[in-house]
């Protein structure tokens, strides 16, 4: 009987996959607690946390409740938090005036958080949509969002947040020139160390619905969408142009939003600019995953960590994610 010698390649890639220790040794990307930023909704009133209907296990927190809620994640190593307001309708108007009050919920929250937890990084959104009666990110003039009128308000808002103690300002409004105007104003006021993380490529996505409900900014008045100032979902070269502009205007970091459907944008931005690059796993992504978990289609922790490694592999230095509490529990154990 003739023996047939089987020929195998010298390299068997399965060798390093066979055991846990060797998989860890050759892992190309690492994911740590420092990579996550927790987006938190702060309520302007109330005495207890309130469940957001479209986002299971995500809540709005009155500030005193949030201070207590932060005790556990801080012990687990939470590095940074991003604050978003829930504003009642009676405090809104066409120009988002409440955004420019030092007594608004975000300004008060920043001060108290920094007093209680001085080492945590506090990131504040610069945009008017939670504060305007029409739910747009800027000022409406002649039926359109007026770029230059909006800039004046956004600069005022940014300076107020810096004065309150915010470490990072994150303009998410997508007005042209806002990074440069904010940077110039910060320099003039001697806020030399205040960082700007620009939402450089914020797409006009369908995945923001639960967020808008969470901040009470769900009903857009004419114009009925944000396509005139947010990025076209079909474009990537334009996104690189946006990133380049914001870097030239003084951004310290850039953000791509949404996250998972736009991994190609994250990857290209990181490759072209080598800037600190962040992804936002937005509310719609969160809600879709949680819906699949609820229906036993996906294993919760497995899919959460898989998405995190997808962001890291694409080039993200950090990820804004509502899964932060679950991630902290997993990694701290």
Active site residues: 202, 257
Phi/psi at 272 (nearest 5 deg)?
-80, -35
Quote the tokens at residue 107: 């300004």
End-to-end CA distance of the chain: 57
Question: Which of 295, 310, 91, 275 has its CA nearest to residue 201?
Answer: 275
The conformation of residue 6, written as its DSSP 8-state character, comes to P
Q: How far apart are CA 308 and CA 290, in angstroms?
A: 15
Residues whose CB falls within 8 Å of the CB of residue 7, separated by 6 or more in sequence, listed in order: none
Distance of CA 70 to the CA centre of its chain: 18
Query: For the packed helices 263-273 and 237-248, what is the interaxial angle rounded to 10 degrees?
Result: 50
Q: Which backbone phi and psi does 69 adopt, to 5 degrees? A: -65, -30
Using alpha carbons, select from 179, 205, 178 the residue that is nearest to residue 280.
205
Number of residues assigned to the chain: 333
Measure the CA–CA gap between 134 and 148, rounded to whole angstroms.
18
């Amino acid at each position: 009987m003739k023996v047939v010698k089987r020929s195998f390649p010298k390299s068997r890639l399965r060798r390093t996959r066979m055991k846990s220790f060797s998989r860890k040794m050759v892992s190309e990307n690492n994911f740590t607690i420092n990579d996550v930023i927790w987006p938190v909704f702060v309520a302007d009133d109330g005495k207890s946390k309130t469940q957001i209907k479209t986002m299971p296990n995500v809540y709005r927190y009155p500030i005193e409740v949030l201070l207590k809620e932060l005790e556990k994640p801080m012990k687990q190593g939470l590095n940074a938090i991003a604050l978003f307001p829930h504003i009642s309708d009676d405090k809104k108007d066409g120009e988002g005036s409440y955004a420019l009050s030092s007594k608004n919920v975000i300004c008060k929250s920043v001060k108290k958080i920094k007093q209680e937890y001085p080492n945590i990084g506090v990131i504040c959104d610069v945009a008017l949509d939670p504060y305007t009666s029409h739910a747009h990110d800027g000022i409406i003039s002649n039926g359109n969002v007026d770029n230059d009128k909006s800039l004046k308000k956004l600069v005022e808002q940014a300076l107020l947040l810096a004065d309150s103690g915010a470490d990072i300002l994150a303009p998410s409004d997508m007005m042209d020139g806002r990074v440069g105007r904010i940077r110039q104003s910060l320099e003039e006021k001697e806020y030399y160390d205040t960082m700007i993380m620009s939402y450089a490529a914020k797409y006009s996505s369908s995945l923001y619905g639960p967020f808008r409900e969470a901040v009470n900014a769900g009903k857009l008045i004419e114009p009925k969408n944000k396509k005139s100032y947010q990025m076209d979902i079909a474009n990537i070269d334009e996104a690189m142009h946006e990133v380049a502009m914001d870097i030239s205007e003084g951004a310290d970091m850039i953000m791509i939003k949404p996250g998972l459907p736009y991994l190609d944008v994250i990857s290209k931005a990181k490759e072209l600019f080598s800037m600190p690059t962040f992804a936002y796993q937005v509310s719609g992504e969160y809600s879709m995953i949680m819906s699949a978990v609820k229906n036993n289609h996906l294993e919760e922790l497995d899919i959460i960590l898989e998405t995190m490694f997808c962001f890291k592999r694409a080039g993200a230095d950090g990820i804004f994610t509502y899964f932060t509490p679950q991630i902290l529990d997993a990694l701290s154990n």
